[in-house]
């Protein structure tokens, strides 16, 4: 006797041959059951093609990332302060209540190696640890992607593939074992990848993301402002731009140059990264940081609270 599955397959072929749309035949209960099944994926079968990845949280904690349940640390406290205005602005409660795309947060810097990726991931993890907030971390530094590598995950399709219309956004989003954290990898690399960041396709995608996920904070790990012109175009579509400054390395004139490229962005926040007590003081004086955040021209994160050491 033919198995039930074989019978069903044969029946389906007959229906297809008769031109019946199979979508119409699936009972709602079955759709709900399969949606439920999708959510419960055992760790052993987790892989990127299932849209779910299992992060090695103990190993990430050892590398200084703020995974849920990690011991209280100075870094975690610093990020707690840093994320608050970002969340408030994103949810329309901050200084800029009517900000366009307020939930799109770009993390950039003047040059490479200032800590953009480190900051993006820690911000994402820190925000995801809150009760209320879901986070999407996008690897938009398409020429030097590092989010998957930092997380110890293999390369996979992502943003670039969506922009080239090979896949849809929901095909390449990766849910994780950090409940409120979803990832969008940078995708299949190619030589003109960075140009796509300044394309109409990217602008359309950002509009779609802001509209489809208004309750999610979307963090973009992005290319440096002074090394690619596309980065400033990307910045112009973001609600909030976090400029990471390597406290020990980056000259003030370079920081000023970087800020000048994004002058027209409504909300810029500056984050002093890897600061020792001394250099933080030095920058503080040089830029006139006060305590708390500053907004408007040449805005910055202010005070020790925005300094990551």
Ligand X SMILES: Nc1ncnc2c1ncn2[C@@H]1O[C@H](COP(=O)(O)OP(=O)(O)O)[C@@H](O)[C@H]1O
Q: State the binding partner of 112 from ligand X, Mg ion, none, CB within 5 to 8 A by kind.
A: ligand X
Residue numbers at the binding site for Mg ion (CB under 5 A): 116-117, 141, 146
Q: Which of 41, 46, 57, 112 binds ligand X (CB under 6 A)?
A: 112
Q: State the binding partner of 47 from ligand X, Mg ion, none, CB within 5 to 8 A by kind.
A: none
Would you say 118 or 293 has its CB closer to ligand X? 118
Q: Give least dist CB 67 to Mg ion, A.
A: 19
Would you say 265 or 272 has its CB closer to ligand X? 272
- Which span (108-116, 168-176, 192-200, 203-211) binds ligand X, by CB under 6 A? 108-116
Interactions with ligand X, residue window 134-193 (CB under 6 A): 146
Would you say 103 or 117 has its CB closer to ligand X? 117
Q: Tell me the per-residue interface mask from 251 to 290 with ligand X, x by CB under 6 A, - otherwise.
A: ----------------------xx----------------
User: Smallest Cα–Cα separation from 305: which of 83, 129, 105, 136?
Assistant: 83
Contacts of 264 (CB under 8 A, 6+ apart): 236
- Which span (50-58, 112-120, 174-182, 290-298) binds ligand X, by CB under 6 A? 112-120
Would you say 48 or 120 has its CB closer to ligand X? 120
Interactions with ligand X, residue window 34-73 (CB under 6 A): 64
Q: State the binding partner of 139 from ligand X, Mg ion, none, CB within 5 to 8 A by kind.
A: none
Binding site for ligand X (CB under 6 A): 64, 109, 112-118, 146, 273-274, 308
């Amino acid at each position: 006797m033919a198995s039930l599955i074989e019978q069903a397959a044969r029946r389906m072929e007959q229906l297809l041959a008769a031109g019946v749309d199979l979508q119409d035949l699936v009972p709602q209960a079955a759709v709900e059951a399969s949606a439920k099944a999708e959510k419960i994926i055992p760790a052993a079968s987790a892989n990127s093609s299932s849209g779910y990845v299992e992060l090695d949280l103990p190993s990430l904690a050892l590398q200084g990332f703020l995974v849920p349940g990690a011991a209280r640390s100075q870094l975690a406290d610093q990020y707690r302060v840093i994320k608050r205005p970002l969340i408030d602005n994103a949810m329309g409660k901050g200084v800029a209540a009517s900000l366009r795309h307020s939930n799109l947060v770009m993390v950039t810097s003047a040059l490479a190696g200032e800590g953009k990726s480190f900051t993006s991931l820690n911000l994402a993890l820190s925000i995801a640890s809150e009760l209320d907030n879901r986070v999407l971390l996008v690897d938009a530094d398409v020429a030097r992607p590092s989010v998957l590598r930092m997380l110890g995950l293999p390369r996979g399709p992502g943003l670039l593939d969506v922009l080239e219309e090979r896949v849809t956004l929901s095909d390449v989003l990766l849910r994780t074992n950090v409940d409120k954290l979803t990832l969008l990898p940078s995708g299949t690399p190619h030589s003109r990848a960075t140009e796509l960041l300044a394309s109409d396709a990217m602008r359309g995608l950002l509009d779609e993301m802001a509209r489809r996920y208004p309750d999610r904070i979307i963090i973009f790990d992005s290319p440096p402002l002074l090394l690619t012109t596309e980065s400033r175009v990307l910045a112009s579509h973001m609600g909030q731009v976090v400029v990471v400054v390597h406290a020990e390395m980056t000259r003030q004139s370079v920081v000023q140059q970087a800020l000048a490229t994004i002058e027209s962005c409504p909300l810029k926040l500056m984050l002093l990264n890897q600061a020792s007590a001394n250099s933080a003081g030095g920058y503080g004086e040089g830029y006139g940081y006060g305590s708390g955040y500053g907004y408007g021209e040449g805005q910055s994160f202010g005070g020790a609270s925005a300094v990551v050491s």
